[in-house]
Amino acid sequence: MVTVNTSKGAMAAIQDLRVVGQSMAKSQAAIATGSKVSTVQGSASSWVLAKHTSSDVSAYNRVRESIDRASATLDTAMAAGAAIMDLLDQMKSKAIAGTQTNNSAAVQAALSADYISLRQQIGLVVANAQFDGSNMLGPSPASASALGDADGNNSITIAGADLSYGTAVMQITSFSHLTAPNNASTALGLVNGTITTLGNQMATWAAGAKRLETHRELTTKIQMALDTSFASLNDADLSTESAKLKAAQMREQLATQAFSVANATTRSALSLFP
């Protein structure tokens, strides 16, 4: 039936154009942003979940960064500790030689000078064992600390140790020398004690380094899972969206033609009434 008051064909075409327009807008937004849901209006639940997952990904990035910094700080301390152990081995040799009662005065003085030089090198190693301003070996030693989770509620902390002269770990005093065999015997006892205490400290640090490594591996796995989840929630399939857009464009053309035909029918009806 042809009517001049209401064109059902035109109304159907307009409705189809509206639906097609929404579909095209959605596909165009997905192609432009690379996201399935770029705004909360698209799908509130999906948008909120994607944003929450994205926030978790960012949080675990901060966790990993803190682990990397803590590991670097601890690695610096351990490298310095290993260097000090090498110096202690050399000092032990000098001290043992210095305990000999038949050394000439010149030999004893030379041994003492070498010992003092090695002792001073330890002080330089301690002073320079810094990473990004943190020194785990100096007075009031810093700690290597990393975030334990993405909420910031837990942490992993590996304490430093004061390796200044005359401390619990660095038993050697700043004035120890080998000028006489009895002084050398005293120095040897301090060196042996320091080798033991520093060795224990190095073992503690090594355990801490392993803990940080394990935590980093776990964090990396969590990050990978979150990245995969976020991609599933957020990333648009561009080939699919492109195909949808082409199909919508074709539907738009057909709907436009249908609208034109409907209008033409109405005009034909009107022409019957000159």
Residues 7-55 have pLDDT tens digits of 555 566 566 556 656 655 565 555 555 555 555 445 566 666 666 777 8
Q: At what angle do helices 8-33 and 238-270 cross, to 10 degrees?
A: 160
Element (H, E) at 144: strand 144-147
Q: What is the pLDDT of residues 190-203, one digit of tens each?
A: 999 999 999 999 99
Query: Mean of the pLDDT values across residues 244-248?
Result: 58
CB-count burial class (<10 Å; 0-12, 13-18, 19+) for 133: exposed
Domain ranges of the chain: 8-34+236-270, 68-234
State which H helix or E strand residue 156 sits in.
Answer: strand 155-158
Report which DSSP code applies to 4.
S
Options 3.40.50.300, 3.40.50.1000, 1.20.1330.10, 3.30.470.10; CATH for 68-234 is 1.20.1330.10
pLDDT higher than threshold 80 for residue 145: yes
Q: What pLDDT shows up at residue 222? A: 86
What is the pTM for the complete model shown? 0.70
Burial of 63 (0-12, 13-18, 19+ CB in 10 A): buried
Give the SS3 label for residue 165: coil
Least confident of 66-80, 145-159, 218-232: 218-232
Confirm if 37 and 50 have CB atoms less than 8 A apart.
yes
Give the burial string for 135-163 (b: 16+ CB within 10 Å, else e). Answer: bbbbeebbbbbbbbebeeeeebebebbbb
CA 252, CA 124: separation in Å to the nearest integer?
78
pLDDT tier at 250, thresholds 50, 70, 90: low
Pick from 10-14, 229-233, 251-255 the range whose average pLDDT is largest: 229-233
Instruction: Identify the pLDDT of residue 59.
Output: 87
Task: Label each residue of 247-270 as H, E or C.
Answer: HHHHHHHHHHHHHHHHHHHHHHHH
pLDDT score, position 57 = 80
Q: How much is the mean pLDDT over the chain?
A: 81
What integer pLDDT is reported at residue 224 of this predicted model? 83
Q: How far apart are CA 263 and CA 266, in angstroms?
A: 5
Quick check: 40 and 47 in contact, CB under 8 A?
Answer: yes
pLDDT (tens digit, 9 = 90+) per residue, 66-116? Answer: 999 999 999 999 999 999 999 999 999 999 999 999 999 999 999 999 999
Question: In terms of Cα–Cα distance, which of 146, 173, 202, 8 is closest to 91?
Answer: 173
- Evaluate whether 220 touches 23 at the Cβ level (below 8 Å): no
